[in-house]
Amino acid sequence: MRLFTRLAMFATALAFIVILLGAYTRLGDAGLGCPDWPGCYGHIDVPNEHHEIHKANEAYPDRPVEPAKAWKEMIHRYFAGTLGLIVFGIAILAVRNKQHPLQLTGVPLFLSVWIVFQALLGMWTVTIKLNPTIVMMHLIGGFTTLSLLLWIYLRHSNSMVERRGAIVELNKLHLPALLGLIVVIIQLFLGGWTSANYAALACGADFPTCLGQWWPPTDFREGFVMWRGTEQNFEFGVLNNDARSAIHLSHRIGALVTTLVLVWLAVKLFRYKQSLILNKLAVLLIIVLTCQVLLGIANVILSLPIGIAVAHNGVGALLLLTMVTINHAIRPRSEAL
């Protein structure tokens, strides 16, 4: 069991790194740095010899080799592949330890199937040339993997078990905590859709207004068409600015709603004086939420510098992990399925 718990903890940290690398790849316009999958121009690494580059350029004349972009893509794949192998290892250990009364088996087995689907999404992201729906699903798939790995670790960790307080009182927090988690997930969807459609700068460097107006021209119908086929190249986006503005404003409105809901949840947690853990999680929630809001604003007014944009993705992942931890902390071990 100790090996299983440590492996789950390591996999959670690695999944977080994979999300950061994925964000860096996407924001660095390297999502098609390698036009094939799982290799790169037919190689397990990036072509670097003159004859290799020449052959690759002949094979993909519309996508000549750009080593910097290709390496971003391949490093992301290396880390993601390693994570996949570790997830399979966790599933195997879960089956081997299934006789243990506290061993979780359902989630690890589901995650081993999920990681295969996530790999397929990674392949389709390349082969369907950054289709926004596939890109968003791949991003959300990464967040799902991260969340499930943390849940597995928390389920097998002894922290948060002895100081939960009265179960009856904790039951009153179930619905607010679940609502907070759902709101964060929806906001991550909106953020993924904004990124996948290159709408992060649809309002220019204008905040809190957008293009000098509180409500500029928008086209929500066009902005939220969820499938646009597989034939065209979606790199750098295919939408007009009215559609992108609609997406961007939806993400801003979502951020406001998320902030209000999570502040409300944090107040409820902090008022629960019987549990020091929940009080600390309330403070952590406010800190992470504040950082995320400030990073989002900085992305707009500074015109999406890649460091801040990647940090915005990373802190978004931390916000999700905080909500997963809160939901775990208010449930007895018997409920943490």
- Give bridge partners of residue 210 from the DSSP assignment: 213
Q: Specify the 3-state DSSP secondary structure of 200.
A: coil
Q: CA angle, 5 as apex, 84 and 288 as ends, to 5°? A: 80
In the 8-state DSSP scheme, what is residue 232?
S
Give the list of residues 6+ apart from residue 16 with CB closer than 8 angstroms, or none: 146, 314, 317, 321
73 is catalytic: yes
Q: CA angle, 33 as apex, 199 and 319 as ends, to 5°? A: 50
CA distance 88 to 145: 12
What stretch of H or E contains 127?
helix 106-127
Q: Specify the 3-state DSSP secondary structure of 210.
A: strand
Give the list of residues 6+ apart from residue 83 with CB closer than 8 angstroms, or none: 11, 14, 15, 18, 115, 145
- 197-226 burial code (b ≥16 CB/10 A, e <16): bbbbbbbbeeeeebeeeeebebbeeebeee
Q: Residue 180 to residues 261, 266, 322: CA-CA distances in angstroms?
A: 6, 10, 10
First CA to last CA distance, the chain = 17
Residue 45 has, within 13 A of its CA and on its CB side, a CA count of 4
Instruction: Write down the catalytic residue from 73, 162, 169, 222.
Output: 73
Which residues are known catalytic residues? 73
